[in-house]
Amino acid sequence: MQIIVHNEEELDKVVDQMLPLLETHSIFAFDAKMGSGKTTFIARLIAAISDESDVSSPTFGYVKEHDTKMGTVHHFDLYRLEHEDEAYDIGIEEYLYGDDICLIEWPKKIENLLPENTVWVSIEVAPDQARIFDIEL
């Protein structure tokens, strides 16, 4: 599924498509270049299912936990991860094979560890600065 958004207000179109997926899937991999809007979108998604309005990236701690109407959501930012093996130090397997929802920025750093049923969300910046979201189940 592909969705194009031209501004932050239009991100709700993507959120609306993602909400049903949160009920059937638990691992979401957000693949995009720096500055493409991964954290902005994840913040909007978490805000839609919780009372949080100020969601920030967990860059320096790798993972941030959020209590939501859909249960616990773990937001990962793996940008600083240098080797896949480092993910074991944060207990990545417990997160990935647990019951909670995981939203992962920079998922290619642990691609070999991700379950087969991971939902891949790629975000590309178009020449006109629109964001193209491709969601693959």
Residue pLDDT, tens place only, 7-48: 999 999 999 999 999 999 999 999 999 999 999 999 999 999
Work out the burial of residue 28: count CB atoms within 10 Å of its CB; fewer than 13 is exposed, 13-18 middle, 19 or more buried.
buried
pLDDT band at 53, cuts 50/70/90?
low
pTM above 0.75, yes or no: yes
Instruction: For residue range 106-119, list pLDDT tens digits in order.
Output: 999 999 999 999 99
Number of domains in the chain: 1
pLDDT band at 81, cuts 50/70/90?
very high
pLDDT band at 61, cuts 50/70/90?
confident
Q: Which among 41, 92, 46 is positioned nearest to 70, based on CA atoms?
A: 46
Question: So what's the pLDDT on residue 82?
Answer: 93
On whether the CB atoms of residues 66 and 53 are closer than 8 A, the answer is no
SS3 label, residue 63: strand
pLDDT band at 59, cuts 50/70/90?
low
Token pair of 16 as six digits: 């609306």
What is the domain range of residue 86?
2-136
Residue 52 has pLDDT above 80, yes or no: no
Average pLDDT over residues 96-111: 96
| Alpha carbon separation from 118 to 8, 69, 90 (Å, rounded) | 25, 21, 19
Identify the weakest region by mean pLDDT among 30-34, 43-47, 58-62, 88-92: 58-62
Residue 74 has pLDDT above 80, yes or no: yes
CATH of the domain at 42: 3.40.50.300
